[in-house]
A = this chain, B = another copy of it.
Amino acid sequence: MKKGLSQTCHRFFSTVSNPTRLATLEKLREGPMNVSQLAEALNQEQSMISHNLRPLVRCRFVHVERRGRERIYRLNRETVEALFKIVENHAEKYCPTGGRCP
């Protein structure tokens, strides 16, 4: 693997290794949403959601679209669902206790 991809991997995985951002991705599986809706659904401050959306957009895990004064965030399903599927398969096989590794 080339030098560049290693760096890409790092940014890619760092972006999804955060509980707030993971929760955001999970929530967006239900459909596109604006920031306030996400903030309410996840029970977090708007500012925090906003801060955490940025890296998700930067790495294209989600896409934004302006709609008047709100911004609609939409999941990049292709990548995110594939990612979740791998974790599910892996966990099923290697984490029989349900995520709590010894």
**Least Cβ–Cβ distance between A68 and chain B, in angstroms:** 26
Q: How many copies of this chain does the complex contain? A: 2
Produce 1/0 per residue, A67-98, CB < 8 A to B.
00000000010010011101111110011001
Contacts of A26 in B (CB 8 A): 1, 6
- Measured in the bound complex, the distance between the Cα atoms of B8 and A22 in whole Å is 11
Chain A interface SS verdict (over half) = helix
Please report A residues at the B interface, Cβ cutoff 8 Å. Answer: 1, 4-14, 16-19, 22-23, 26, 29, 58-60, 76, 79, 82-84, 86-91, 94-95, 98-99, 101
Q: Determine if B22 and A91 form an interchain contact, defined as CB atoms under 8 angstroms apart.
A: no
Contacts of A23 in B (CB 8 A): 6
